[in-house]
Amino acid sequence: MCGIVGILGREPVAMRLVESLKRLEYRGYDSAGVAVLEHGRLKRVRAAGKLRNLVERLAREELTSTIGIGHTRWATHGGPSEANAHPHIAGRVAIVHNGIIENFSELRDELRRRGVEPESDTDTEIVAHLINLELTEGGTPKEAVLNVLERLHGAFAFAIIFEGEENLMIGARRGSPLAVGHGEGEMMLGSDAIALAPFTSRITYLEDGDVVFLTREGFEILDEERRHVIRPIQFTQAASLLVDKGGYRHFMAKEIHEQPDVIGHTMAEYLDFAEGRVRIPDMPVDLAALDRLTITACGTAFYAGLVGKYWLEQLARLPVEVDIASEFRYREAPLSEGGLSLVISQSGETADTLAALRYCKSMGQKVVAVVNVPESTIARESDVILRTMAGPEIGVASTKAFTCQLVVLAAFAIAVARARGAISAERETELVRAMQQLPRLVVKTLEHENQVAEVAQELARAQDILYLGRGINFPLALEGALKFKEISYIHAEGYAAGELKHGPIALIDEHMPVVVIAPRDRLFDKTVSNMEEVRARGARIVLITDEEGASEHGAKAFETITVPAAEPFISPMLYAIPVQLLAYHAAVFLGTDVDQPRNLAKSVTVE
């Protein structure tokens, strides 16, 4: 994971690096640091913890250098201490790194044999030493970097500067993303375009295996085979992406409340309300002839994929397998050539999802990506992008990206169903009309926030919480539990309601709250029976249902949260809202770091 930035500029860079790092904190916040060439000498300032700790330290320094690199870290090798914070320095070399060097212990042993003892536990410092050794043996910075890159296994993006080289910065990528920014008489490197947005909107995306040599006057790229290549300069809109809390206490709250809007924007991409039709981009395969679809993703995006499976199987009669990307990538699943795979990712940079995508392509499949960041690696490597219009999601716990993923998957399922003749044009129009109600219904659901906040305070006193759902609401139970545990640090588990009596019911006693997600649909009575089973064993029930469900069975629950009645097809987008609010308000009550929960990062670019 981690975010990296480098600026080869005309004005002092230290605070400009910080400005970029603020935009990269979503990639990790275990420590941060910068290194600059101050009067020709390498000078480094680092701090464990959040970026604000680095800012405090920098306030005590007077740095005037116009060349520097910066880093915000999500710890992989070595704990989140200052000693392990980047940049790492060895002799004349300072380096920042995003990724994992897999053969690091072998290389470290070699260094020790050569009399070099690393100061930190990181894989990155090893790379700095190897490059420095090449320099001491007479190599130029370019030669040194190229030689060392040959020896590295794993994933990386680097930005490197050298003592004695005021007009040179070297970048390299394999696996992890890296972009070059073009300013007026200055050049930059960044993990993404958003990091460079304060300074430029002209970006060159490096391809896997590329190495780039920057000077203030220009740049030169060598590809994987070390041939000179020209990569295009693109204009990005990243600069216009406003990243503020808009008056909310946390990004997560803002993002939860943005859902009526962003769901509307996403629907506008895929639904033709005037005609009552779905319109998706042309697909690279014949949807009518498909015999199955593979969906891969991680975390919340995986749960969106599980909801998509219910829609695609029920509506389009298309068999769907949904897999966790980290499992799928090594499972050697047989996939038919010419078939279709779908990957889902908010960031578009999740390492396991990207690897799954590449595996599918290697098997001759076409890949459709449901992705929120159109400039991301996953977007660029897919055959077709189905973009979610959620806008930048900053809170580490995914909320609006999830509901927008659901909107896209619902539209996709309707399109596939029509292409396969599984639904009539009239049914398509009915479903589109139902989806059209979503922004209004989400607003109505959000109106119950105060009540949900009170229930959340009750849940925040528990040690463990069970979430139950059936059918299409089962993935929501999983998502509700994930959201709760990641920001409140309270153990929560999602279960298929019918599976309870096969084991987990043994956990139930009066201390275990059970959140039951049960709209009044065709499975409602079955879920209510499961609810009775846990109630009989003393569990306190929080029932999330619609008015009809509440009037029939609300009395059995300790608390009932009502969601507006809706066509069952769209219920997942609505029931996502109370589970997000429950997690959010429990975390606020407990005083945890809601937007940046411990041990997590927004974009998981390592496997």
Stretch of 20-28, 74-82, 189-197, 347-355 lying at the interface with ligand F6R (CB under 6 A): 347-355
Q: Is 369 in the site for ligand F6R (CB under 6 A)?
A: no
Nearer to ligand F6R, 528 or 587 (CB): 587
Nearest residue to 408 via CA among 416, 397, 398? 416
| Residue with smaller CB distance to ligand F6R, 358 or 556 | 358
Residue 486 as a binder of ligand F6R (CB under 6 A): the answer is yes
Residue number with CB closer to ligand F6R (365 or 376): 376
- The two beta strands, 559-562 and 540-545, are parallel
Candidate segments 90-98, 344-352, 358-366, 441-449, binder of ligand F6R by CB under 6 A: 344-352
On whether the CB atoms of residues 296 and 340 are closer than 8 A, the answer is no
Q: How many other C-beta atoms lie within 10 A of the C-beta of residue 531? A: 22
CA 18 to chain centre: 22
Residue from the set 191, 200, 259, 300 that interacts with ligand F6R by CB under 6 A: 300
Does residue 198 have a cis peptide bond before it, meaning omega lies within 30 degrees of 0?
no
Is residue 350 involved in binding ligand F6R (CB under 6 A)? yes
- Nearest residue (CB) to ligand F6R, 188 versus 482: 482
Closest CA to 453 of 559, 593, 595, 564: 559
Residues 6+ apart with CB under 8 A from 56: 47
E strands, 149-252, are 154-162, 165-174, 179-182, 187-190, 202-205, 211-215, 218-222, 228-229, 234-235
Please, what is the minimum distance in Å from the beta carbon of residue 345 to ligand F6R?
Answer: 3
- 518 and 531 in contact (C-beta within 8 Å)? yes
Q: What is the DSSP string of 498-562?
A: GGGGGTGGGG-STT-EEEEE--SSTTHHHHHHHHHHHHTTTPEEEEEE-HHHHHHHGGGSSEEEE
Kindly tell me which of 350 and 571 has the beta carbon lying closer to ligand F6R. 350
- Separation CA 193–CA 191 (nearest Å): 7
Give phi and psi for 158, each to the nearest 5. Answer: -125, 150
2 a catalytic residue: yes
Distances in Å between the Cα of 93 and the Cα atoms of 21, 37, 134, 141, 597 are 21, 11, 11, 9, 33
Instruction: Tell me if 326 contacts ligand F6R by CB under 6 A.
Output: no
Fill in the amino acid letter for 486: E
**Cα 179 to Cα 239: distance, rounded to the nearest angstrom:** 14
Considering only 299, 305, 439, 513, the residue that binds ligand F6R (CB under 6 A) is: 299
604 binds ligand F6R, rule: CB under 6 A: yes
596 binds ligand F6R per the rule CB under 6 A = no
Closest approach of Cβ 300 to ligand F6R, in Å? 3
Q: Is 519 or 597 the residue whose CB approaches ligand F6R more closely?
A: 597
Which residues, numbered 576-595, are part of the site for ligand F6R (CB under 6 A)? none
Q: Which residue is nearest to ligand F6R (CB)?
A: 299
Q: How many residues bind ligand F6R (CB under 6 A)?
A: 15
| 346 interacts with ligand F6R by CB under 6 A | yes
Check binding of 353 to ligand F6R (CB under 6 A).
Answer: yes
Interacting positions 377-436 with ligand F6R (CB under 6 A): 397-398
Asked whether position 301 contacts ligand F6R by CB under 6 A, the answer is yes
Q: Which of 2, 298, 360, 404 is catalytic?
A: 2
User: What's the rounded Cα separation, in Å, for the pair 176 and 389?
Assistant: 24
Q: Which stretch binds ligand F6R (CB under 6 A): 54-62, 129-137, 346-354, 541-549?
A: 346-354
Radius of gyration, CA atoms only, the chain: 25
| Residue nearer to ligand F6R on the CB measure, 19 or 255 | 255
| 76 near ligand F6R (CB under 6 A) | no
Q: Considering the rule CB under 6 A, would residue 518 count as an interface residue with ligand F6R?
A: no
Taking contact as CB under 6 A, which single stretch among the options 149-157, 265-273, 294-302, 453-461 is the one that binds ligand F6R?
A: 294-302
Nearest to ligand F6R of 324, 419 (CB atom): 324
CA distance 89 to 349: 27
Q: Which active-site residues does the annotation give?
A: 2, 602
What residue ranges bind ligand F6R (CB under 6 A)?
298-301, 345-347, 350, 353, 397-398, 482, 486, 603-604
